[in-house]
Amino acid sequence: MFFNKEKIKYFDLIVAVILSFIIIQALLNYKSIFLLVGKAVNILYPFILAFIIAYVLNPVMNFLENKLKLKRGQSILITYACIVTIIVAFSMLLLPKIFNNVIEIAQSIPLFTTEMYKWMNSHNVGMLLNSEEFIRNNVGGLVQKFSVLTSNWLNIILSTTISFTSSLINILFGLIISIYILFDKEKFKDFSIKLTYITFQEKWANRIIELIRNIDKMISLYIGTKAVDSLIIGAIALVALILFKSPYAMLIAIIVTITNMIPYFGPFLGMIPPFLINFFYDPKRALWILLFLILLQQFDAWFLEPKLVGDKVGLSPFLLILGITIGGTLFGIWGMLLASPITAVIKIYMERWFEYKIRKC
């Protein structure tokens, strides 16, 4: 026990009154609170980012310490040397190429639209649909809408890339701070545990710590193994796209890698950009690439992912899809990525609650 509340008379009552007062004031001044929180997040952003970086790199450092028996300083040095090398290589070799590819695609949209018209006319799409006016009245509108939609998505990708580049200083600052966090991670852990026991009753403190540990376990199991799985799928897709002589092969492979992290929906979303981009250059090649990606995702679903991820998360397809839908709606792409481990933790506690209720009946 880190803190003896019995030494303070009416400790629980004092805490309850203080918390009630804080909650009431927060509800009455919620706009000011949100403004202050936003400013605090902006100020503390490098430190928040540092804790996230430290959390992500901690398994690598633990591997070097536990498996290779290296000292803490040596493990940190090797870990960050690898990360800095990857960041520099990505920034100098891949990022400019991706940036140029996005600009080229945005500039080529009018040409893509013209080529689609020509292809449909040359293949008598209107006659196949028994309507001579189909292309002019329907396809034209659809192509125009598609052009607008594609432009919007490309603008989002472009602005995200620019935002990432402008945030590079914060990322580097976060990397530096995260070194100190990893070096003294036991102190941060002990402080967090003590603060939890000071703030809450022992029973609730134990439950909160157990909840955090379960979330950490599920995120480590799923996100780590799924990242390895997606990198393998992305590498295979890159090789295949190069062999198919697909334009923007690197950009498309990165999209396939990222979308593959999202269960169920992700692989299908990842097939759309490769097919559409190649369709404007060569429809037959686009169909072959689409077929290959379908087969690749079948290989991933039936062989690779079960080998790596298996049933570690333990979710049924229904719960997984429900979690992805809710997470994506509330928190966007991050909600979809974290939906599986978070839903798995909720399932664990729901099952415990049901068992507790059944035993009481």
Span 68-85, pLDDT tens digits? 888 988 999 999 998 888
The better pLDDT of the pair 103, 66 is held by: 66
pLDDT band at 152 (very low <50, low <70, confident <90, very high): low
Ranking 32-36, 117-121, 196-200, 224-228 by mean pLDDT, the lowest is 117-121
Region of 51 please: left (phi>0), alpha (psi -120 to 50) or beta. Answer: alpha
Mean pLDDT of 261-275: 83
Backbone angles phi, psi at 316, to 5 degrees: -75, 155
Query: What pLDDT score does 26 carry?
Result: 72
pLDDT band at 161 (very low <50, low <70, confident <90, very high): low
Mean pLDDT of 305-318: 68
Query: What pLDDT score does 131 carry?
Result: 46
Stated pTM of the model: 0.65
Query: What pLDDT score does 130 carry?
Result: 47
- Structure tokens of 235? 């590498």
3-state class of 10 per DSSP? coil
b/e sequence 336-347, b meaning 16+ C-beta within 10 Å: bbbbbbbbbbeb
Mean pLDDT of 81-98: 79
- The domain segmentation of the chain, as residue ranges, is 46-199, 201-311
pLDDT band at 243 (very low <50, low <70, confident <90, very high): very high
> Does residue 304 contact residue 233 with C-beta atoms inside 8 Å?
yes
Residue-wise pLDDT for 288-311, tens only, equals 999 999 999 888 888 887 777 655
Query: What pLDDT score does 326 carry?
Result: 84
The better pLDDT of the pair 314, 41 is held by: 41
Mean pLDDT of 138-159: 57
- The whole-angstrom separation of Cα 325 and Cα 317 is 12
**Which residue type, as a one-letter code, is found at position 140?**
G
Query: What pLDDT score does 237 carry?
Result: 92
Mean pLDDT of 29-58: 81
Query: What pLDDT score does 292 carry?
Result: 93
Query: What pLDDT score does 112 carry?
Result: 65
The better pLDDT of the pair 292, 215 is held by: 292
Return the residue matching tokens 């036991």.
186
Q: How many other CB atoms sit within 10 Å of the CB of residue 300?
A: 19
Q: Is residue 2 scored above 60 in pLDDT? A: no
Quote the mean pLDDT of the chain. Answer: 77
